[in-house]
Structure 1
């Protein structure tokens, strides 16, 4: 049960749509986070900068026109400081501004909400330097204001603004006013802008991911269907191959049985010729010799004809007969064929066994090897006029290889691949025998260059 469930889970995880959902989901989430962060940051910067610019315009509208002092000092006038002090501490800005500071260009505190800070020198901050460069600098943050202002609140969102105060004639920056303004409404607007921007980004990426997933899922379904079709076709092909293999084996077995039956009939005919006709001819020869026929040309012709007939019958009987192959292994079967040939033709064919150990095969294979050697050796002795004949037996990689070589006069194999005039099957018969066992018969010869006849047969699994 768990195996089937694990298999289903594995198939789901291997699906292209699921892989895209996992990998593409991670990519889309990272992309959405990056885009959303960038968009919200840009929106926050824009809103904070606009709010700071609005506050700066309001502060500048409260101040009278400022000019450089008679001594050339760059500072705001006492009147301007008084106006700012009243606006920040007692006016309408007292409810919004937590604290304020007026800075000189050197970092000296010209005026502050806390009187003890006046005249102190500090290192100018980055925002202060930006304001002295003529730009309004603003930052939104939550600060713990440690001021003595009665309206100061710890942990409230504040808008920090640096406003450059310019010379009315030359536009030169005379001083910078720094103040912290309560920004609860700005914080709400920023939070709303963040929510809306993140919602928009999530919808865009979500819809894009869903659209892409639909496309990929459709393609994945198509691929899965094609894969199932291919798997089904592969199974059908495998089943068809098994059926064809079984059918081929049945045909081969039928051909082997037919060949074996034919061999039995041929062997019985040979035995009948040897035990019947040959014996009668021998009896006729003996009776003629005992009949006391005088020497004459006719008597000699009759006796010679009887001897020739008996010799041919013995050769035919010997060619049709077979040894008891069931008791022989492959090497012994090949050696027996070579020995029988040497006895019958007074030849000196050499047998070379290159196989390792005893090789056991079925009777049909041994019969094919035996008949191949009979036919090849007989052709080498009778037609090739060979003085040297070699038989090599080799077994390698479940294949039997039998090679018969001679140094005879050779021939053109294409001219002899057919049924012989005497009714024998010759080379064509050897090729058919090999084919029924799934093997091959190959002959290489050329007039004047000898002949090589090779038989290759597979060793079947049921061979013993």
Structure 2
């Protein structure tokens, strides 16, 4: 008899126990990857994306289709067995029910009924398919059996419980129960069927008929259906894998082409960056060299002014003094006019000479340099300059020192010229690799287009020169101007 009744087939849910999960698939902090697994992972990563995808898809899709195929095959098998069982049950009910009507009144079958059932089992048409019959009372007692050794014996009722509810129950499994010893000894595939036997008048279930039918043809049919199911599932799986492979391979080819193009562009960008860096270094070197040559030129011009025109103007003043002793009063007035003009010219030439010739600033720190340029401006103009200096770098390149000296010198000159020296202030600080220099005044400010053109339509060379000096060393130049004053700012990244 069947251990598990299948009258009401239900969907089975398979839950893997933790002990059934293969070792190595549960990640944990103490679990170490073995060398073989590491080598497999390395080899898998060397495969193309399409190959990796096909392998992964084959595993996932293969497992999915395997479970689908198993489920479909099982359902088909159950349906086929149940259909055959119901057909056989209706056939057997027509033979057995007339002989069990007396069980509604008695607990045993009469001798005539038993003999009639024995003769029935000997008929050729029935014997070809049915090999054994049992009739059960509702209390689990076997009142008739082809195997006479179990007649009138009582067995557990689990096997006939569903049949007593009016269901036809079948099973195509091994016959392991005690009452199936006779059927097991036949060594032929069988499936057992339980069918309720009813009283004619009332329809009440008065017994359960159990018969064993040969399963050769049924098993062959089930195997044939299984093969067809697996062929369909396998063909569908292979078709899906092939389609997915070509789709992924096409996408992989596009990705590889794009990667090659990106690598080429990256190499080109790297080459251009290196080239730009080299050009930037050359430009910086050229700018520093130009600044040095420009400063030497300015010094030479200052020296030439001091040694040339200044000396000639001094000689003119001396000769004018000699001439003044022998001149008339009218000539004296003309000589004084000439002497005044020559004196003014000499003073301006000396001022220009001093402005063009910088002091020796190689050995000065930035703080000392800013103090020196402020001091010189105060001496020359008689005005005051406020210094606010933070912590400045001890070391700086000569081009930067020259740029800062000229920047502060020119902005202080502008403050003296346009703001009459009111509120002159120098501030400097160094933070996060950035050097900030600012020169302020409290003048009336400047027009918004002061950096573009002057009233004559010409570019203002002073401000343009400051911007060029600062930006030629990679600095940032800016002007903040309002009615409350002007601030000229420079920023360098050191």
TM-score by length of 1: 0.84
Q: Provide the C-alpha distance between the structure 2 equivalents of 1:152 and 1:245, rounded to a whole number of angstroms.
A: 92
Quick check: 1:417–1:427 contact (8 Å CA) kept in 2? no
Deviation (angstroms), 1:184: 4.0
Quick check: 1:158–1:181 contact (8 Å CA) kept in 2? yes
Deviation (angstroms), 1:320: 1.1
Quick check: 2:194–2:208 contact (8 Å CA) kept in 1? yes
Quick check: 2:370–2:405 contact (8 Å CA) kept in 1? yes
Residues 39-438 of structure 1: pairs in structure 2 closer than 5 A: 39-60=72-93, 62-63=95-96, 65=98, 68-69=101-102, 72=105, 78-88=111-121, 99-125=132-158, 127-144=159-176, 152-153=184-185, 156-168=188-200, 171-293=203-325, 296-358=332-394, 360-418=395-453, 425-438=461-474
Q: Is the deviation greater in 61-70 or in 173-182? A: 61-70
TM-score by length of 2: 0.79
- CA offsets 1:336-375 (integer angstroms, 9 cap, x no match): 32222222222321332213441x2322222211111111
- CA offsets 1:27-76 (integer angstroms, 9 cap, x no match): 31332123112101111112211332343344345458457449755986
Quick check: 1:74–1:175 contact (8 Å CA) kept in 2? no
Q: Provide the C-alpha distance between the structure 2 equivalents of 1:64 and 1:150, rounded to a whole number of angstroms.
A: 24
Q: Provide the C-alpha distance between the structure 2 equivalents of 1:39 and 1:148, rounded to a whole number of angstroms.
A: 30
Quick check: 1:74–1:174 contact (8 Å CA) kept in 2? no
CA change 1:8–1:456 in 2 (3 A) is farther
Quick check: 1:67–1:169 contact (8 Å CA) kept in 2? no
CA change 1:7–1:70 in 2 (3 A) is closer
Deviation (angstroms), 1:310: 1.1
CA change 1:42–1:8 in 2 (3 A) is closer
Structure 1 residues without counterparts, runs of 5 or longer: 460-464
- 1:462 match: none
- CA offsets 1:137-165 (integer angstroms, 9 cap, x no match): 21101224767987752765331111333
Deviation (angstroms), 1:214: 1.9
Q: Name the SS for the 2:167 alignment partner.
A: coil
Quick check: 2:136–2:207 contact (8 Å CA) kept in 1? yes
Deviation (angstroms), 1:314: 0.8
Quick check: 2:477–2:489 contact (8 Å CA) kept in 1? yes
Deviation (angstroms), 1:378: 0.7
Q: Name the SS for the 2:172 alignment partner.
A: strand
Q: Is the deviation greater in 373-382 or in 30-39? A: 30-39
- Alignment length, in residue pairs? 450
Structure 2 residues without counterparts, runs of 5 or longer: 1-39
